[in-house]
Structures are given as structure tokens and as C-alpha cells.
Structure 1
Amino acid sequence: MMLQNKNAIIYGAGGSLGGAVAKALAGAGAHVFLTGPNPGSIKKIFDEIIAAGGLAEIAIVDAFDEKAIDRHLQQVVSSAGTIDISFNAVGVDVVQNVPLTKYRPKIL
């Protein structure tokens, strides 16, 4: 498998995009670390990955909290040794007709 022995953290893993990416990475052999604020949606993705024979772990992490991210990254490195892939699928409200340089996302 292409990503065997690789570790991937997916922020927002309980959403449709994050869940799809997590399942694809796990299907390619990566050990995926699923994060998000909603344990129920993350557990659903976890169960699907495990049922398909993949490796996954769950952590409730607020991706807008830098200290929480740092703690989680340290935990992953301590347990897995490396972080090879980081994917951010955290949702923010989209605002139309605002120049990107002036846009400040509202946290969901």
C-alpha cells in the first residue's frame, strides 16, 4: 500500500470532506488520527475505517485552539513517532462578494 507506515492527522474528520479523505488515506495504508468537535460523527468514520481493515484513532480537538492542536500533535508524535500528513477540513461560513484580503471567517 502506498501510504503504509505513514501517519495522517485529519482535522474535521467527522464532516463529509474530512471523512472521505480519512477513509481514502486509511484505504491507502495510512494510520489516520481523526479529530473534530463531535464524537458521534468522528466515531462513525472510525467504525467505517476499522471495518475496512484500516488503522484509526480518535481525539476530540478544537482545531481553532492552537494549544489543543499542539498537545494533540505531541501526543501523536509520542505514540506514532511521526506526522507525515496533515489535512484540514474544518468548516467555516462562506461569505460571498468580500475580497479575500478583507475576509475574516466566522468560526462555526
Structure 2
Amino acid sequence: MCAGGTARLVLSNGGDAPLELTVEPWAEIHSILPKQSCVVVTHSPAGGGSWPGTSRAHEPFEVDHRPDSVTVWANGNCFHLSDAEGNAIYALDGECPVQGRPAS
């Protein structure tokens, strides 16, 4: 597991069209299908629970929503996506302490 903290952000698409999800600062673009949810998970290496890159140390995410897209700034040292049941959708790279290698 991770020595720091873990944060999860659930995103749901209640619309009728795919919702574009961009995860920053990695510029990773994914799609949330209609009537589906995904979870953005990030990990902080800091034992005190602070999150690098955020304007407030206690906030692991910043979110910007537009009608057809959402941008999530995951302020940990990595991120991965899972579905609502916790099944891996995508991991950025082998540096993510929980997920390991990207899902195919």
C-alpha cells in the first residue's frame, strides 16, 4: 500500500452522451459512458496527508466541469481509474503504488 494518503473521487455521467474526462497534470483523456460512473484515485506520498500541486494542502482534487467534459486535477503523485465496483480501468504507469502496470 501507500505510505501517504489515498483519495477517491466518484464521477457519474447522467447524460445521454459520453462525457470526456481529462485527468491533469498528465493530460490523460478518457470517456465516461452514459449512465456509468468511474472513480479517480490518487495517492499522496506525504505521511501527513498533504497533496502536492494543490492550492490547499487538504484537497486532493480540483474539478472543472463543462457541459460535455470534466477535468480533474489529481494532486497526488499518480492516479488510476476504476469502475464503481473497484475494478481497474486504467493506471498511469508502474509508479502507482496500488495498481502497478496499466490495464490493457
TM-score (norm 2): 0.30
- Find the structure with the greater CA-based Rg: 1
User: Which structure has more helix as a fraction of its residues?
Assistant: 1
Return the structure number with greater relative CO, CA threshold 8 A, min gap 6: 1
TM-score, length basis structure 1: 0.29
